[in-house]
Structure 1
Amino acid sequence: MVAITISGANGRAPSIAKKSFPLTIEVGPEDTVETIKKKVATKCPKLYTSRQKLALKGAKAALTDELTVKDIGLASGGELDIKDLGPQLGWRFVYFVEYLGPLLIHPLFYYLPQYIYGKAFEHSELQKYAYGMIMAHFVKREFETLFIHRFSHGTMPARNILKNSGHYHILSGLLLAGDLYRPGYGAAASSMKNTIMSNPTFLNACLGAFTFFEISNLHTHLTQRNLRPAGTKTRAIPRGYGFNLVSCANYFFEICAWTVVLVMTRSAACALFLGAGGFQMAVWAAKKHKNYKKEFGKDYPKGRKAMIPFIF
Protein backbone atom coordinates (compact mmCIF):
# COMPACT_ATOMS: atom_id res chain seq x y z
CA MET A 1 0.00 0.00 0.00
CA VAL A 2 1.13 3.57 -0.68
CA ALA A 3 -0.02 6.92 0.69
CA ILE A 4 -1.49 9.54 -1.63
CA THR A 5 -2.18 13.05 -0.42
CA ILE A 6 -5.13 14.86 -2.00
CA SER A 7 -5.45 18.63 -1.74
CA GLY A 8 -7.58 21.31 -3.37
CA ALA A 9 -6.69 22.37 -6.91
CA ASN A 10 -4.91 25.75 -6.99
CA GLY A 11 -4.69 25.62 -3.21
CA ARG A 12 -8.46 25.84 -2.78
CA ALA A 13 -10.11 22.94 -1.01
CA PRO A 14 -13.69 22.03 -2.04
CA SER A 15 -15.99 24.38 -0.15
CA ILE A 16 -18.34 21.59 0.96
CA ALA A 17 -15.49 19.76 2.72
CA LYS A 18 -12.79 22.33 3.48
CA LYS A 19 -11.86 20.85 6.83
CA SER A 20 -11.17 17.44 5.29
CA PHE A 21 -8.31 18.57 3.05
CA PRO A 22 -5.51 17.90 2.56
CA LEU A 23 -6.56 14.28 2.81
CA THR A 24 -4.30 11.21 2.85
CA ILE A 25 -5.53 7.81 1.71
CA GLU A 26 -3.84 4.46 1.21
CA VAL A 27 -4.15 2.54 -2.05
CA GLY A 28 -2.41 -0.24 -3.93
CA PRO A 29 -0.49 0.22 -7.21
CA GLU A 30 -3.24 -1.61 -9.13
CA ASP A 31 -6.10 0.39 -7.62
CA THR A 32 -7.83 2.72 -10.06
CA VAL A 33 -8.64 6.42 -9.98
CA GLU A 34 -12.23 5.38 -9.41
CA THR A 35 -11.12 3.54 -6.27
CA ILE A 36 -9.41 6.70 -5.04
CA LYS A 37 -12.62 8.66 -5.62
CA LYS A 38 -14.62 6.10 -3.65
CA LYS A 39 -12.20 6.34 -0.72
CA VAL A 40 -12.46 10.13 -0.82
CA ALA A 41 -16.27 9.85 -0.85
CA THR A 42 -16.14 7.52 2.15
CA LYS A 43 -14.37 10.21 4.17
CA CYS A 44 -16.26 13.14 2.58
CA PRO A 45 -19.78 11.87 1.72
CA LYS A 46 -20.85 15.16 0.15
CA LEU A 47 -18.11 14.73 -2.44
CA TYR A 48 -19.65 11.72 -4.17
CA THR A 49 -17.54 10.24 -6.94
CA SER A 50 -19.18 12.03 -9.89
CA ARG A 51 -18.57 15.41 -8.23
CA GLN A 52 -14.84 14.81 -8.10
CA LYS A 53 -12.25 15.81 -10.67
CA LEU A 54 -8.86 14.33 -9.83
CA ALA A 55 -5.67 15.49 -11.55
CA LEU A 56 -1.95 15.14 -11.05
CA LYS A 57 -0.49 17.85 -8.84
CA GLY A 58 -0.46 21.13 -10.78
CA ALA A 59 -2.06 19.59 -13.89
CA LYS A 60 -5.40 20.61 -15.43
CA ALA A 61 -6.32 17.43 -17.30
CA ALA A 62 -8.67 15.12 -15.40
CA LEU A 63 -7.55 11.56 -14.74
CA THR A 64 -9.93 8.97 -16.19
CA ASP A 65 -11.46 6.47 -13.79
CA GLU A 66 -9.88 3.43 -15.48
CA LEU A 67 -6.25 4.51 -14.93
CA THR A 68 -4.38 2.73 -12.13
CA VAL A 69 -2.15 4.27 -9.49
CA LYS A 70 0.79 2.74 -11.34
CA ASP A 71 -0.41 4.18 -14.67
CA ILE A 72 -0.36 7.74 -13.32
CA GLY A 73 3.11 7.35 -11.85
CA LEU A 74 2.19 7.23 -8.16
CA ALA A 75 3.09 3.61 -7.42
CA SER A 76 5.43 4.90 -4.69
CA GLY A 77 2.97 7.51 -3.42
CA GLY A 78 2.53 11.18 -4.24
CA GLU A 79 -0.05 13.95 -4.53
CA LEU A 80 -3.25 14.63 -6.45
CA ASP A 81 -5.40 17.72 -6.86
CA ILE A 82 -9.16 17.57 -6.40
CA LYS A 83 -11.84 19.89 -7.73
CA ASP A 84 -15.51 19.90 -6.83
CA LEU A 85 -17.54 19.75 -10.07
CA GLY A 86 -20.71 20.72 -8.25
CA PRO A 87 -24.07 18.90 -8.04
CA GLN A 88 -24.45 16.29 -10.78
CA LEU A 89 -27.40 14.73 -12.61
CA GLY A 90 -27.41 11.38 -14.38
CA TRP A 91 -27.46 11.58 -18.18
CA ARG A 92 -30.41 9.21 -18.35
CA PHE A 93 -32.45 11.62 -16.21
CA VAL A 94 -31.25 14.61 -18.27
CA TYR A 95 -32.30 13.02 -21.56
CA PHE A 96 -35.64 11.96 -20.09
CA VAL A 97 -36.37 15.57 -19.06
CA GLU A 98 -35.22 16.93 -22.45
CA TYR A 99 -37.59 14.73 -24.45
CA LEU A 100 -40.44 15.04 -21.99
CA GLY A 101 -40.85 18.73 -22.87
CA PRO A 102 -42.12 18.23 -26.45
CA LEU A 103 -44.30 15.30 -25.33
CA LEU A 104 -46.14 17.64 -22.96
CA ILE A 105 -46.10 20.79 -25.08
CA HIS A 106 -47.36 19.42 -28.43
CA PRO A 107 -50.63 17.97 -27.02
CA LEU A 108 -51.41 21.33 -25.39
CA PHE A 109 -51.16 23.19 -28.71
CA TYR A 110 -52.89 20.44 -30.66
CA TYR A 111 -55.85 19.80 -28.38
CA LEU A 112 -56.38 23.26 -26.89
CA PRO A 113 -56.19 25.67 -29.86
CA GLN A 114 -59.05 27.79 -28.51
CA TYR A 115 -56.91 28.85 -25.56
CA ILE A 116 -53.70 29.34 -27.52
CA TYR A 117 -54.90 30.74 -30.87
CA GLY A 118 -58.18 32.22 -29.63
CA LYS A 119 -60.46 29.87 -31.54
CA ALA A 120 -61.20 26.22 -32.15
CA PHE A 121 -60.79 24.84 -35.67
CA GLU A 122 -60.59 21.58 -37.56
CA HIS A 123 -57.10 20.19 -37.98
CA SER A 124 -55.90 19.42 -41.48
CA GLU A 125 -54.57 16.02 -42.46
CA LEU A 126 -51.11 17.58 -42.54
CA GLN A 127 -51.41 18.63 -38.91
CA LYS A 128 -52.64 15.18 -37.93
CA TYR A 129 -49.71 13.51 -39.68
CA ALA A 130 -47.19 15.97 -38.24
CA TYR A 131 -48.56 15.56 -34.71
CA GLY A 132 -48.45 11.76 -34.87
CA MET A 133 -44.95 11.69 -36.35
CA ILE A 134 -43.46 14.12 -33.84
CA MET A 135 -45.07 12.44 -30.85
CA ALA A 136 -43.89 9.04 -32.08
CA HIS A 137 -40.37 10.41 -32.47
CA PHE A 138 -40.13 11.63 -28.88
CA VAL A 139 -41.81 8.52 -27.45
CA LYS A 140 -39.13 6.55 -29.26
CA ARG A 141 -36.43 8.80 -27.80
CA GLU A 142 -37.76 8.24 -24.29
CA PHE A 143 -37.86 4.48 -24.85
CA GLU A 144 -34.24 4.53 -26.05
CA THR A 145 -33.20 6.64 -23.07
CA LEU A 146 -34.76 4.27 -20.55
CA PHE A 147 -34.00 0.91 -22.12
CA ILE A 148 -31.32 1.12 -24.82
CA HIS A 149 -28.68 3.79 -24.29
CA ARG A 150 -25.54 3.08 -22.27
CA PHE A 151 -23.70 6.19 -21.21
CA SER A 152 -19.91 6.48 -21.16
CA HIS A 153 -20.22 9.52 -18.89
CA GLY A 154 -22.55 8.95 -15.96
CA THR A 155 -23.41 12.51 -15.03
CA MET A 156 -23.35 16.17 -16.04
CA PRO A 157 -23.43 19.38 -13.95
CA ALA A 158 -26.98 19.96 -12.71
CA ARG A 159 -26.80 23.63 -13.73
CA ASN A 160 -26.62 22.61 -17.40
CA ILE A 161 -30.02 20.95 -17.52
CA LEU A 162 -31.82 24.21 -18.37
CA LYS A 163 -29.47 24.86 -21.28
CA ASN A 164 -29.72 21.29 -22.54
CA SER A 165 -33.50 21.18 -22.21
CA GLY A 166 -33.98 24.57 -23.84
CA HIS A 167 -33.14 23.20 -27.29
CA TYR A 168 -35.98 20.69 -27.11
CA HIS A 169 -38.47 22.51 -24.90
CA ILE A 170 -38.25 25.77 -26.87
CA LEU A 171 -37.24 24.91 -30.45
CA SER A 172 -39.00 21.56 -30.93
CA GLY A 173 -41.57 22.27 -28.23
CA LEU A 174 -43.03 25.77 -28.05
CA LEU A 175 -41.86 27.16 -31.40
CA LEU A 176 -42.52 24.07 -33.50
CA ALA A 177 -45.88 23.26 -31.91
CA GLY A 178 -46.94 26.90 -32.08
CA ASP A 179 -46.18 27.02 -35.79
CA LEU A 180 -47.54 23.64 -36.87
CA TYR A 181 -50.91 23.64 -35.13
CA ARG A 182 -51.97 27.21 -35.90
CA PRO A 183 -55.10 27.96 -37.99
CA GLY A 184 -52.92 28.76 -41.02
CA TYR A 185 -52.24 25.04 -41.34
CA GLY A 186 -55.86 24.09 -40.51
CA ALA A 187 -58.32 22.26 -42.74
CA ALA A 188 -60.17 25.47 -43.67
CA ALA A 189 -57.04 27.48 -44.54
CA SER A 190 -56.96 28.58 -48.18
CA SER A 191 -53.21 27.97 -48.25
CA MET A 192 -53.83 24.27 -47.62
CA LYS A 193 -56.66 23.53 -50.06
CA ASN A 194 -55.75 21.82 -53.32
CA THR A 195 -52.02 21.85 -52.53
CA ILE A 196 -49.52 19.04 -52.26
CA MET A 197 -49.65 19.44 -48.46
CA SER A 198 -53.22 18.10 -48.51
CA ASN A 199 -52.47 15.31 -50.99
CA PRO A 200 -52.87 11.87 -49.34
CA THR A 201 -50.22 10.29 -51.56
CA PHE A 202 -47.67 12.94 -50.59
CA LEU A 203 -48.51 12.66 -46.89
CA ASN A 204 -48.29 8.86 -46.92
CA ALA A 205 -44.98 9.00 -48.79
CA CYS A 206 -43.62 11.35 -46.13
CA LEU A 207 -44.90 9.09 -43.37
CA GLY A 208 -43.25 6.09 -45.02
CA ALA A 209 -39.90 7.87 -45.41
CA PHE A 210 -40.05 9.18 -41.84
CA THR A 211 -40.81 5.70 -40.48
CA PHE A 212 -37.90 4.23 -42.45
CA PHE A 213 -35.43 6.77 -41.06
CA GLU A 214 -36.74 6.41 -37.50
CA ILE A 215 -36.38 2.62 -37.62
CA SER A 216 -32.91 3.04 -39.13
CA ASN A 217 -31.99 5.40 -36.29
CA LEU A 218 -33.24 2.86 -33.74
CA HIS A 219 -31.16 0.17 -35.43
CA THR A 220 -27.99 2.26 -35.09
CA HIS A 221 -28.68 2.79 -31.38
CA LEU A 222 -29.02 -0.96 -30.90
CA THR A 223 -25.71 -1.43 -32.73
CA GLN A 224 -24.03 1.07 -30.42
CA ARG A 225 -25.54 -0.56 -27.35
CA ASN A 226 -24.15 -3.95 -28.33
CA LEU A 227 -20.65 -2.49 -28.63
CA ARG A 228 -20.53 -1.76 -24.90
CA PRO A 229 -21.17 -4.57 -22.38
CA ALA A 230 -23.35 -3.49 -19.47
CA GLY A 231 -21.42 -1.86 -16.64
CA THR A 232 -18.35 -1.09 -18.76
CA LYS A 233 -16.96 1.82 -20.76
CA THR A 234 -15.54 -0.41 -23.48
CA ARG A 235 -15.21 1.24 -26.88
CA ALA A 236 -15.21 -0.60 -30.21
CA ILE A 237 -15.53 0.24 -33.88
CA PRO A 238 -19.20 0.41 -34.92
CA ARG A 239 -19.91 -1.64 -38.04
CA GLY A 240 -22.86 -2.69 -40.13
CA TYR A 241 -25.95 -0.88 -41.38
CA GLY A 242 -25.24 2.85 -41.71
CA PHE A 243 -21.85 2.67 -40.04
CA ASN A 244 -20.17 1.30 -43.16
CA LEU A 245 -20.43 4.81 -44.60
CA VAL A 246 -20.25 7.17 -41.61
CA SER A 247 -19.01 7.17 -38.04
CA CYS A 248 -22.23 8.67 -36.67
CA ALA A 249 -25.01 6.92 -38.57
CA ASN A 250 -27.43 7.69 -35.75
CA TYR A 251 -27.02 11.43 -36.40
CA PHE A 252 -27.41 10.94 -40.15
CA PHE A 253 -30.74 9.12 -39.84
CA GLU A 254 -31.94 11.63 -37.23
CA ILE A 255 -31.32 14.48 -39.66
CA CYS A 256 -33.02 12.56 -42.48
CA ALA A 257 -36.14 12.00 -40.36
CA TRP A 258 -36.46 15.68 -39.49
CA THR A 259 -35.76 16.68 -43.09
CA VAL A 260 -38.85 14.69 -44.05
CA VAL A 261 -40.91 16.63 -41.49
CA LEU A 262 -39.53 19.88 -42.91
CA VAL A 263 -40.33 18.92 -46.52
CA MET A 264 -43.82 17.84 -45.51
CA THR A 265 -44.72 20.89 -43.42
CA ARG A 266 -42.50 23.66 -44.83
CA SER A 267 -42.43 25.01 -41.29
CA ALA A 268 -39.95 27.79 -40.50
CA ALA A 269 -39.81 26.57 -36.90
CA CYS A 270 -38.93 23.07 -38.11
CA ALA A 271 -36.17 24.53 -40.29
CA LEU A 272 -34.77 26.40 -37.27
CA PHE A 273 -34.85 23.29 -35.09
CA LEU A 274 -33.28 21.14 -37.80
CA GLY A 275 -30.60 23.73 -38.52
CA ALA A 276 -29.63 24.15 -34.87
CA GLY A 277 -29.70 20.43 -34.18
CA GLY A 278 -27.90 19.56 -37.40
CA PHE A 279 -25.09 22.01 -36.63
CA GLN A 280 -24.63 20.62 -33.13
CA MET A 281 -24.65 17.03 -34.39
CA ALA A 282 -22.06 17.97 -37.03
CA VAL A 283 -19.78 19.32 -34.29
CA TRP A 284 -20.22 16.16 -32.22
CA ALA A 285 -19.76 13.91 -35.27
CA ALA A 286 -16.50 15.60 -36.28
CA LYS A 287 -15.14 15.17 -32.75
CA LYS A 288 -16.23 11.51 -32.50
CA HIS A 289 -14.85 10.73 -35.96
CA LYS A 290 -11.49 12.25 -35.01
CA ASN A 291 -11.41 10.32 -31.73
CA TYR A 292 -12.27 7.04 -33.48
CA LYS A 293 -9.40 7.48 -35.96
CA LYS A 294 -7.01 8.43 -33.17
CA GLU A 295 -8.01 5.53 -30.92
CA PHE A 296 -8.18 2.76 -33.50
CA GLY A 297 -5.59 4.03 -35.97
CA LYS A 298 -5.05 1.81 -39.01
CA ASP A 299 -7.89 -0.50 -37.92
CA TYR A 300 -10.47 2.22 -38.49
CA PRO A 301 -12.08 2.10 -41.97
CA LYS A 302 -10.49 4.76 -44.18
CA GLY A 303 -13.46 5.43 -46.43
CA ARG A 304 -15.85 6.56 -43.72
CA LYS A 305 -17.03 10.13 -43.34
CA ALA A 306 -18.12 11.67 -40.05
CA MET A 307 -21.88 12.08 -40.55
CA ILE A 308 -23.02 12.49 -44.17
CA PRO A 309 -22.04 9.72 -46.63
CA PHE A 310 -19.39 10.75 -49.19
CA ILE A 311 -19.58 14.41 -48.08
CA PHE A 312 -18.75 15.07 -44.42
Structure 2
Amino acid sequence: MKIPVLEKFMFDEPSIWVTAATVVALIFTAYLGLAELIGNHLQYSKFATSNSDQGIKVSGRTGFLIFYTPAFLAGLLSFFVFPATGDLRFLLLKFAVIFVHKYSGDVILGSTILISISYFSIAACLIVVHYLSLGLPEPSFDLKYIGLIVFTLGIFGNFYHHNLLAKLRKPNEKVYKIPQGGLFNLVICPHYLFEILVFWAFYFISQTPMAFACAFGDSIYLISRSYMTRKWYVNKFEDFPKNVKCVIPYVF
Protein backbone atom coordinates (compact mmCIF):
# COMPACT_ATOMS: atom_id res chain seq x y z
CA MET A 1 0.00 0.00 0.00
CA LYS A 2 1.71 3.18 -1.17
CA ILE A 3 0.25 6.68 -1.07
CA PRO A 4 1.33 8.48 -4.30
CA VAL A 5 2.23 11.79 -2.64
CA LEU A 6 4.60 9.92 -0.30
CA GLU A 7 6.28 7.68 -2.87
CA LYS A 8 9.61 9.46 -2.53
CA PHE A 9 9.52 8.93 1.24
CA MET A 10 8.83 5.16 1.35
CA PHE A 11 10.20 1.82 0.34
CA ASP A 12 8.17 -0.28 -2.06
CA GLU A 13 6.05 -3.02 -0.50
CA PRO A 14 8.01 -6.29 -0.62
CA SER A 15 4.92 -8.49 -1.16
CA ILE A 16 1.12 -8.52 -1.40
CA TRP A 17 0.99 -10.12 2.06
CA VAL A 18 2.84 -7.18 3.55
CA THR A 19 0.40 -4.84 1.83
CA ALA A 20 -2.52 -6.74 3.36
CA ALA A 21 -0.93 -6.63 6.82
CA THR A 22 -0.36 -2.88 6.43
CA VAL A 23 -4.02 -2.30 5.62
CA VAL A 24 -5.11 -4.41 8.59
CA ALA A 25 -2.80 -2.49 10.94
CA LEU A 26 -4.19 0.84 9.74
CA ILE A 27 -7.83 -0.27 10.04
CA PHE A 28 -7.33 -1.78 13.50
CA THR A 29 -5.61 1.26 15.03
CA ALA A 30 -8.08 3.65 13.41
CA TYR A 31 -10.95 1.55 14.80
CA LEU A 32 -9.52 1.93 18.31
CA GLY A 33 -9.66 5.70 17.86
CA LEU A 34 -13.28 5.59 16.70
CA ALA A 35 -14.14 3.32 19.63
CA GLU A 36 -12.74 5.91 22.05
CA LEU A 37 -14.94 8.63 20.57
CA ILE A 38 -18.12 6.56 20.98
CA GLY A 39 -17.25 5.71 24.58
CA ASN A 40 -15.84 2.21 24.15
CA HIS A 41 -12.62 3.01 25.95
CA LEU A 42 -9.64 0.77 26.52
CA GLN A 43 -9.81 0.31 30.27
CA TYR A 44 -6.70 1.87 31.76
CA SER A 45 -6.00 4.92 33.89
CA LYS A 46 -9.10 6.98 34.78
CA PHE A 47 -11.33 5.00 32.42
CA ALA A 48 -10.56 1.88 34.42
CA THR A 49 -10.93 3.61 37.79
CA SER A 50 -14.36 4.98 36.90
CA ASN A 51 -15.63 1.57 35.72
CA SER A 52 -15.14 -0.76 38.66
CA ASP A 53 -17.39 -3.47 37.19
CA GLN A 54 -15.49 -3.90 33.92
CA GLY A 55 -13.25 -6.77 34.97
CA ILE A 56 -10.16 -7.77 36.93
CA LYS A 57 -7.86 -4.86 37.76
CA VAL A 58 -4.09 -4.92 37.99
CA SER A 59 -1.81 -2.13 39.18
CA GLY A 60 -0.49 0.41 36.70
CA ARG A 61 3.07 -0.84 37.11
CA THR A 62 2.04 -4.44 36.47
CA GLY A 63 -0.33 -3.55 33.66
CA PHE A 64 2.11 -1.43 31.74
CA LEU A 65 4.90 -3.93 32.28
CA ILE A 66 2.61 -6.45 30.58
CA PHE A 67 1.85 -3.85 27.88
CA TYR A 68 5.44 -3.34 26.86
CA THR A 69 7.40 -6.47 27.83
CA PRO A 70 6.41 -8.58 24.78
CA ALA A 71 7.27 -5.69 22.44
CA PHE A 72 10.55 -5.17 24.30
CA LEU A 73 11.38 -8.86 23.93
CA ALA A 74 10.48 -8.74 20.24
CA GLY A 75 12.96 -5.92 19.76
CA LEU A 76 15.61 -7.69 21.82
CA LEU A 77 15.08 -11.00 20.03
CA SER A 78 15.42 -9.29 16.65
CA PHE A 79 19.13 -8.79 17.29
CA PHE A 80 19.52 -12.58 17.32
CA VAL A 81 16.92 -13.56 14.71
CA PHE A 82 18.06 -10.85 12.30
CA PRO A 83 21.78 -10.44 13.00
CA ALA A 84 23.94 -7.56 11.77
CA THR A 85 23.18 -6.71 8.16
CA GLY A 86 25.27 -3.56 7.82
CA ASP A 87 22.08 -1.52 7.46
CA LEU A 88 22.11 1.44 9.87
CA ARG A 89 18.42 2.11 9.34
CA PHE A 90 17.51 -1.43 10.44
CA LEU A 91 19.82 -1.23 13.47
CA LEU A 92 18.23 2.04 14.61
CA LEU A 93 14.75 0.58 14.24
CA LYS A 94 15.60 -2.46 16.35
CA PHE A 95 16.99 -0.26 19.11
CA ALA A 96 13.98 2.07 18.99
CA VAL A 97 11.36 -0.56 19.91
CA ILE A 98 12.88 -1.74 23.21
CA PHE A 99 12.00 1.14 25.60
CA VAL A 100 9.65 0.70 28.59
CA HIS A 101 8.18 3.44 30.77
CA LYS A 102 6.82 3.77 34.30
CA TYR A 103 3.09 4.40 34.70
CA SER A 104 0.56 4.96 37.49
CA GLY A 105 -3.14 4.11 37.57
CA ASP A 106 -5.21 0.93 37.45
CA VAL A 107 -5.58 -1.21 34.33
CA ILE A 108 -8.31 -3.72 33.48
CA LEU A 109 -6.77 -7.10 32.64
CA GLY A 110 -8.71 -7.57 29.39
CA SER A 111 -7.47 -4.25 28.00
CA THR A 112 -3.98 -5.08 29.26
CA ILE A 113 -3.89 -8.25 27.18
CA LEU A 114 -5.29 -6.51 24.08
CA ILE A 115 -2.81 -3.64 24.28
CA SER A 116 0.07 -6.02 24.97
CA ILE A 117 -0.78 -8.05 21.86
CA SER A 118 -1.11 -4.82 19.86
CA TYR A 119 2.28 -3.44 20.90
CA PHE A 120 3.95 -6.81 20.31
CA SER A 121 2.35 -7.10 16.88
CA ILE A 122 3.41 -3.57 15.93
CA ALA A 123 6.99 -4.13 17.09
CA ALA A 124 7.26 -7.48 15.33
CA CYS A 125 5.67 -6.21 12.11
CA LEU A 126 7.88 -3.11 11.96
CA ILE A 127 10.99 -5.24 12.31
CA VAL A 128 9.97 -8.08 9.99
CA VAL A 129 8.62 -5.79 7.26
CA HIS A 130 11.77 -3.69 7.34
CA TYR A 131 13.89 -6.84 7.14
CA LEU A 132 11.92 -7.91 4.06
CA SER A 133 12.52 -4.46 2.57
CA LEU A 134 16.31 -4.74 2.82
CA GLY A 135 17.83 -4.67 -0.64
CA LEU A 136 14.97 -2.69 -2.16
CA PRO A 137 15.77 0.75 -3.62
CA GLU A 138 16.10 3.38 -0.90
CA PRO A 139 13.50 6.20 -0.79
CA SER A 140 14.59 9.41 -2.51
CA PHE A 141 14.49 11.29 0.78
CA ASP A 142 16.41 9.74 3.69
CA LEU A 143 14.58 10.50 6.95
CA LYS A 144 16.38 8.16 9.36
CA TYR A 145 18.48 10.86 11.04
CA ILE A 146 15.44 13.09 11.43
CA GLY A 147 13.74 10.03 12.90
CA LEU A 148 16.54 9.58 15.42
CA ILE A 149 16.12 13.18 16.59
CA VAL A 150 12.33 12.88 16.78
CA PHE A 151 12.61 9.56 18.62
CA THR A 152 14.96 11.02 21.22
CA LEU A 153 12.63 13.97 21.79
CA GLY A 154 9.58 11.71 21.94
CA ILE A 155 10.98 9.09 24.28
CA PHE A 156 12.32 11.59 26.82
CA GLY A 157 9.23 13.80 26.62
CA ASN A 158 6.99 10.78 27.12
CA PHE A 159 9.04 9.56 30.08
CA TYR A 160 9.17 13.00 31.70
CA HIS A 161 5.41 13.51 31.57
CA HIS A 162 4.62 9.95 32.65
CA ASN A 163 6.92 10.58 35.59
CA LEU A 164 4.99 13.75 36.47
CA LEU A 165 1.78 11.72 36.42
CA ALA A 166 3.31 9.02 38.60
CA LYS A 167 4.31 11.62 41.21
CA LEU A 168 1.02 13.51 41.08
CA ARG A 169 -0.53 11.49 43.89
CA LYS A 170 0.96 10.21 47.13
CA PRO A 171 1.29 6.43 47.67
CA ASN A 172 -2.15 4.78 48.07
CA GLU A 173 -3.88 8.07 47.24
CA LYS A 174 -6.80 7.52 44.84
CA VAL A 175 -8.08 11.09 44.35
CA TYR A 176 -7.58 12.46 40.85
CA LYS A 177 -5.93 15.85 40.41
CA ILE A 178 -5.39 18.15 37.46
CA PRO A 179 -1.82 17.45 36.26
CA GLN A 180 0.63 20.35 36.30
CA GLY A 181 4.16 20.98 35.14
CA GLY A 182 5.84 20.51 31.79
CA LEU A 183 3.40 20.70 28.91
CA PHE A 184 0.48 19.82 31.20
CA ASN A 185 -0.03 23.59 31.49
CA LEU A 186 -0.86 23.62 27.77
CA VAL A 187 -2.41 20.19 27.03
CA ILE A 188 -3.96 17.52 29.19
CA CYS A 189 -2.17 14.65 27.40
CA PRO A 190 1.42 15.70 26.60
CA HIS A 191 2.53 12.09 27.15
CA TYR A 192 0.30 11.13 24.19
CA LEU A 193 1.81 13.92 22.11
CA PHE A 194 5.29 12.53 22.69
CA GLU A 195 4.13 8.96 22.09
CA ILE A 196 2.78 10.13 18.73
CA LEU A 197 6.22 11.56 18.01
CA VAL A 198 7.79 8.19 18.88
CA PHE A 199 5.57 6.38 16.39
CA TRP A 200 6.34 8.92 13.67
CA ALA A 201 10.01 8.46 14.50
CA PHE A 202 9.56 4.74 13.80
CA TYR A 203 8.26 5.72 10.37
CA PHE A 204 11.05 8.23 9.71
CA ILE A 205 13.65 5.62 10.65
CA SER A 206 12.08 2.72 8.75
CA GLN A 207 10.23 4.54 5.93
CA THR A 208 8.08 1.51 5.17
CA PRO A 209 4.32 1.76 4.47
CA MET A 210 3.76 -0.47 7.51
CA ALA A 211 5.53 2.03 9.76
CA PHE A 212 3.49 4.85 8.21
CA ALA A 213 0.23 2.95 8.82
CA CYS A 214 1.16 2.31 12.45
CA ALA A 215 2.11 5.96 13.01
CA PHE A 216 -1.04 7.28 11.32
CA GLY A 217 -3.36 4.84 13.09
CA ASP A 218 -1.72 5.40 16.48
CA SER A 219 -2.09 9.17 16.00
CA ILE A 220 -5.82 8.75 15.36
CA TYR A 221 -6.18 6.62 18.49
CA LEU A 222 -4.17 8.88 20.81
CA ILE A 223 -5.79 12.10 19.55
CA SER A 224 -9.22 10.50 20.12
CA ARG A 225 -8.14 9.27 23.56
CA SER A 226 -6.84 12.72 24.50
CA TYR A 227 -10.13 14.32 23.40
CA MET A 228 -12.09 11.99 25.67
CA THR A 229 -9.59 12.50 28.49
CA ARG A 230 -10.03 16.27 28.35
CA LYS A 231 -13.80 15.79 28.30
CA TRP A 232 -13.48 13.62 31.42
CA TYR A 233 -11.46 16.29 33.25
CA VAL A 234 -13.87 19.07 32.23
CA ASN A 235 -16.80 17.07 33.64
CA LYS A 236 -14.97 16.20 36.84
CA PHE A 237 -13.35 19.53 37.68
CA GLU A 238 -15.30 22.79 37.54
CA ASP A 239 -12.04 24.74 37.66
CA PHE A 240 -10.39 22.92 34.76
CA PRO A 241 -8.43 25.55 32.78
CA LYS A 242 -10.20 26.33 29.51
CA ASN A 243 -6.92 27.19 27.79
CA VAL A 244 -5.57 23.65 28.29
CA LYS A 245 -6.05 21.77 25.02
CA CYS A 246 -6.23 18.03 24.38
CA VAL A 247 -2.88 17.07 22.88
CA ILE A 248 -1.53 19.77 20.52
CA PRO A 249 -0.60 23.03 22.30
CA TYR A 250 -2.74 26.02 21.29
CA VAL A 251 -4.42 24.00 18.52
CA PHE A 252 -6.40 20.98 19.76
Compute the TM-score of the two structures, normalised by the length of structure 2: 0.69
| Equivalent position of 2:73 in the other structure | 104
Any idea what the Cα deviations from partners look like across 1:228-262, whole Å, max 9, x if unmatched?
11111122222222112211010001101221221
Output the CA distance in 2 between the equivalents of 1:239 and 1:282. 20
Q: 1:306 aligns with which of 229, 246, 250?
A: 246
Task: Output aligned runs, 1:126-205, within 5 Å.
Answer: 126-135=89-98, 138=99, 140-141=100-101, 144=102, 149-151=103-105, 153=106, 155-156=107-108, 158-170=109-121, 172-182=122-132, 184-185=133-134, 189=135, 191-192=137-138, 196-197=141-142, 203-205=144-146
Output the CA distance in 2 between the equivalents of 1:270 and 1:190. 16
Q: Secondary structure at the match of 1:181?
A: helix
- Choose 1 or 2 for highest CA Rg: 1
Kept in 2: contact 1:109–1:181 (CA 8 A): no
Distance 1:263 1:93, change over 3 A: same
Percent identical residues: 20
Kept in 1: contact 2:97–2:123 (CA 8 A): no
Any idea what the Cα deviations from partners look like across 1:282-306, whole Å, max 9, x if unmatched?
2321121012122222x22211211
Q: Secondary structure at the match of 1:126?
A: helix
Larger helix proportion, structure 1 or 2?
A: 2
| Equivalent position of 1:285 in the other structure | 226
Output the CA distance in 2 between the equivalents of 1:222 and 1:63. 22
Kept in 2: contact 1:251–1:281 (CA 8 A): yes
Matching of residue 125 in structure 1 with residue 88 in structure 2:
yes
Distance 1:237 1:161, change over 3 A: closer
Distance 1:304 1:169, change over 3 A: same
Q: 1:296 aligns with which of 234, 237, 241?
A: 237
Distance 1:286 1:208, change over 3 A: same
Matching of residue 263 in structure 1 with residue 232 in structure 2:
no
Output the CA distance in 2 between the equivalents of 1:126 and 1:63. 43
Q: Which runs of no fewer than 5 residues in structure 1 stay unpaired? A: 1-61, 66-82, 114-119
Q: Which has the higher contact order (CA 8 A, sep 6+)?
A: 2
Kept in 2: contact 1:247–1:305 (CA 8 A): yes
Kept in 2: contact 1:246–1:304 (CA 8 A): yes
Equivalent pairs, count: 204
Distance 1:203 1:177, change over 3 A: closer
Give 1:169's aligned amino acid.
Answer: F
Mean CA deviation greater in 278-287 or 244-253? 278-287
| Equivalent position of 2:63 in the other structure | 94
Distance 1:289 1:134, change over 3 A: same
Larger strand proportion, structure 1 or 2?
A: 1
Output the CA distance in 1 between the equivalents of 2:138 and 2:176. 50
Any idea what the Cα deviations from partners look like across 1:183-239, whole Å, max 9, x if unmatched?
x33xxx25239x653xxxx64443233212211111111211222111111222222
Output the CA distance in 2 between the equivalents of 1:168 and 1:129. 18
Q: Which runs of no fewer than 5 residues in structure 2 stay unpaired? A: 1-48
How far did 1:108 drift? 3.4
Give 1:124's aligned amino acid.
Answer: D
Output the CA distance in 1 between the equivalents of 2:201 and 2:96. 10
How far did 1:102 drift? 1.5
Distance 1:161 1:290, change over 3 A: closer
